[in-house]
Structure 1
Amino acid sequence: MTGVVRWDGFSADPRRAEVAGVRASDGDRETAVEALREAFADGRLDRAEFDRRSHAALAAALLGEFAPLLQDLEAPVPATLSVHDEAVRRYRREAREARNGFLTVGTITTGIWGATSIYGGDPYFFWPVFPMLAVGAGWFMKVANRGELIERHERKIARRLERRRRKDESEDPEG
């Protein structure tokens, strides 16, 4: 969910002093980078800070190195945030990323086309239309399948919550 670092995604909680010296796994590094991606998508990190922290997370050798990279990203999440609201938030992030991919590909390829056309003296065939159509199709599919994608996210979130509930019950000594 927005604003929450999933500390339970690590092999051990990196905030605990007794595990700070334990070697980090590839899965631990990916968990840290995913938390940074979410913070970047939420606008809590700018590109430079995201890049700096991601590089540090990928280079981390010990679990304790993740805590300083992630602790300031924790924010309280409203208790009323529903599964549907979280699914919609995730869908919107995916759709925004697809749109930004389309705009990036369009801008870069059109720039290359423009530069080569100017250098050549005559406008060439507008070939950027092909990569733009390919990437745009992905964006269109996100928009066209909105309901289905939100439902898929709802199912994933519900499964994760159910696993967490079962885990909490199994760890409860009184349960």
Structure 2
Amino acid sequence: MTGLVRWDGFSADPRRAEVAGIRAGDLDRETAIEALREAYADGRLDRVEFDQRSNAALAATLLGEFVPLLRDLEPPVPATRSVREEALRRYRRETRDARNGVLAIGTLTTGVWGATAIADGSPYFFWPIFPILGVGIGWLMQVVNKDDRIEHHERKIERRLRRHEDPPGEE
């Protein structure tokens, strides 16, 4: 699951004050590095920041030192949303973006058609119908296949969740 830090992958949860002073082991460092790798792969860290945080994780001697390196990589929302709610949110955003694409293409091409028709002195064939229909079909497919699209997003989210829940070395 993109962006989730596996706090349970550490020998003890470094966020807890009573274990923050316990010495870190190699597995703890590797858990932190893996979370940083995923954040870098997701584009949430640039190369310089990835290198800085990775070096700090490798140099960490206490569990509490991992918290400032990883805390801002935790997603604010998915932990409180169900998979279905997140899939619905993604579907709505995807459908809204497709609709906005139709409106943008329609506005742009109709404007060009109108300007050229005025410059020519008379209206002629309404050619913008073709790009509008082309983009509109994509939007229509989003709406018609609503259940399939939501299921697609659910599968994608669940696949990411499973990928992170597998113990290290068993992927």
Give, in whole Å, the separation in 2 of the partners of 1:101 and 1:170.
Answer: 42
Greater Rg by CA: 2
Q: Write out aligned runs for 1:75-94 (5 A).
A: 76-77=76-77, 79-94=79-94
Q: For residues 134-157 of structure 1, give each alpha carbon's deviation from its aligned partner in whole angstroms, at most 9, with x where no partner exists.
A: 100100000000001101111111
User: 1:63 maps to which residue?
Assistant: 48
User: 2:152 maps to which residue?
Assistant: 152
- Change over 3 Å in CA distance of 1:112–1:5 after alignment to 2: farther
- Change over 3 Å in CA distance of 1:153–1:133 after alignment to 2: same
What percent of counterpart residues are identical?
A: 52
Q: Which contiguous aligned blocks of 4+ residues in structure 1 show a shift greater than 3 angstroms?
A: 4-14, 71-75
User: 1:45 maps to which residue?
Assistant: none
Q: Write out aligned runs for 1:1-150 (5 A).
A: 11=37, 28=41, 31-32=42-43, 62-64=47-49, 76-77=76-77, 79-150=79-150
Report deviation, 1:80: 3.5
Q: For residues 36-77 of structure 1, give each alpha carbon's deviation from its aligned partner in whole angstroms, at most 9, with x where no partner exists.
A: xxxxxxxxxxxxxxxxxxxxx9xx6x3328x9xxx9897622
Give, in whole Å, the separation in 2 of the partners of 1:115 and 1:73.
Answer: 49
Give the structure-1-normalised TM-score: 0.58
- Change over 3 Å in CA distance of 1:145–1:83 after alignment to 2: same
> Structure 1 unaligned runs (5+)?
15-27, 36-56
- Change over 3 Å in CA distance of 1:119–1:164 after alignment to 2: same
- Change over 3 Å in CA distance of 1:64–1:148 after alignment to 2: same
Which one-letter code corresponds to 1:170 in the other structure? Answer: P
Give, in whole Å, the separation in 2 of the partners of 1:77 and 1:151.
Answer: 20
- Change over 3 Å in CA distance of 1:74–1:138 after alignment to 2: same
Aligned Cα RMSD in Å? 3.3
* Secondary structure in structure 1 of the residue aligned to 2:119: helix
Report deviation, 1:5: 5.4
- Change over 3 Å in CA distance of 1:83–1:130 after alignment to 2: same
Which one-letter code corresponds to 2:129 in the other structure? Answer: V
